[in-house]
Amino acid sequence: MSLSHAVPDESSAGHEVPNISRLLEMLGRLTDPRSPQGKRHELVFTLACAVVAVLAGACNYRQLASQVGDFPQSLLATLGGRWSWFGCRYGWPSEATLRRVCQRVDAGELDLLIGSWLFERAHRDVDGLLVIALDGKVLRGAWTDDNDQVTLFSAMIHGVGVTVAQILVPEGTNEITQVDTLLAGIGEVPPSTRVIVTVDAAHTQRATASHVCAERGFDYIMTIKGNQPTLQKKVADRCRPLVTTAPAHIVEERAHGRINRWSTWTTDATGVDFPHAAQLGCIRRDEFALDGTALSKEFALIITSSPAEHTSPADLHTHVRQHWGIENKSHYVRDTTWREDHHQAWVGNGPHTMAALRNLALGLFRLNGLHKIKEATEAICRDRDRALPLLAT
C-alpha cells in the first residue's frame, strides 16, 4: 500500500472540504451498465476518481490507475469511497475496473451530462450574447471495432473556451450531417440571449444555415471557400469593390517576430441566394516583417445571418478569429497536455469516454480561471486535494 493511503493525521482535521455534491450528482445520473453482482465500487465514485486523475494529467487507463492508486484516504472518502473494515481503509478502483467502466458506459449519455453541466456554469458569464464554435476532431490513435477512425464533433463557447456539447460522428457519415444532433445537446438558452454559431467552410451548407436559423432560432457566421464555388464567386464579386475603399475596422498586432494586420469590410447580402443571409464580410490579413516589409496577404469571405445592427465589422472580425479557439483552446490542449492522439484505444466506448473526461477537466480549469493547463495538471499531480475546489465549481 502506498504511504499516501495512510489515514490522515490530526493536523488535516478542521479544514473545510469543498462541496462537490453537484458534480457527484451529475455523474450519478449516468446509467451503470454493470451487473450488481460482484460490484465493489459505485459508478459515480469510479468516475469521480477518473476525473481527478485526468485533472492530475492522466492520459490513458494505466495512468488513471496509477493516479487513483496514490490518492490520499481523505480524498477517497470525499469522492464517496467505501470503507473496508477488513483493510481499515477506503478502497479504490483498479486499472481493470477503470478500463471496463470507460469501455462500457454510454459515452454519448456521459457527454450529454457533462456538456449540460458545463453549459449551466459557463453561460452565466455571457451577457446577452452567446457565440458557439462548432468543429470536429479525429482521435488519430483510436479506432472503432470496424477499424475506422473515431471522429468527435463538438461545440465550444467563444472566449471562455468551455466545450458544452460533443457527439460521436456515426460511421459511414461525416460531421456535416450532424449539426442538428450536436446543437440539440446544448443546454437551454435563456430567451434574452442571442446565440451565434460559427463554423468553418466545410459547414457552409444551405441545410445547416436553414437548421441554425429556422429551427433553432440562432444566427450563423460561415466562411466561404471553394467547396461552394457559385456562392464564393457571388460573394467575391460583391466584396471586390469594397477592398478598394477604407476598411470599416482594422486591428494590428505584433507577435512572433512579425506584424499582422486584419482589415474588415462588410455589406448587405442583397442578391445572394443563401438561406437567411443578412450580411457579407471580407477580412484581409496582411503580414509584415518588423521593418515593414510586406510578407503575405490573404482574404477570407464571410456570410452571416446576423444583421448589421447586431453584428458590426468589429464583431464579425472578433467572432471569425475566435472561432479557431476551438482548435487552440480545446483540440490542441487535449493533444499536448493529455496526448489524446497518442491514446491507442479501440475497445468499446473507451476513446469517447476519455475524451468526455478531458473536456470536463478542461472545462473545470477554464471556469476557475486556470489557463496554463499543463502547469495546472502538474500542480494537482503533486497534491491531488487541489482538485477538490475545481470539483466544487
Segment 168-213, tens digit of pLDDT: 998 888 899 999 999 999 988 888 889 999 999 999 999 999 999 9
pTM of the model: 0.90
Q: Verify that 279 and 369 share a domain, yes or no.
A: no
**Calpha distance 224→253 (Å, rounded):** 25
Q: Sign of torsion, CA 160 162 164 168?
A: positive
Predicted confidence (pLDDT) per residue in 250-285, tens digit: 999 998 899 999 999 999 999 999 999 999 999 999
> Do 366 and 330 meet the contact criterion of CB atoms below 8 Å apart?
no
**Residue 291 resides in a domain:** yes
Q: Verify that 314 and 260 share a domain, yes or no.
A: yes
**Residue 341 resides in a domain:** no
**Calpha distance 376→349 (Å, rounded):** 27
**Residue 154 resides in a domain:** yes
The tally of domains found in the chain comes to 2
- CA 113 vs. chain centroid, Å, equals 14
Task: Using only the alpha carbons of the chain, give its radius of gyration.
Answer: 24
Q: Verify that 198 and 251 share a domain, yes or no.
A: yes
Q: Verify that 98 and 208 share a domain, yes or no.
A: no
* Domain enclosing residue 89, as ranges: 3-105+349-391
**Residue 336 resides in a domain:** no
Predicted confidence (pLDDT) per residue in 118-136, tens digit: 999 987 655 689 999 999 9
Among 55, 33, 52, 58, residue whose Cα is nearest residue 43:
33
Locate cell 456539447: which residue? Answer: 165
Q: Verify that 84 and 153 share a domain, yes or no.
A: no
**Residue 196 resides in a domain:** yes
**Calpha distance 197→323 (Å, rounded):** 9
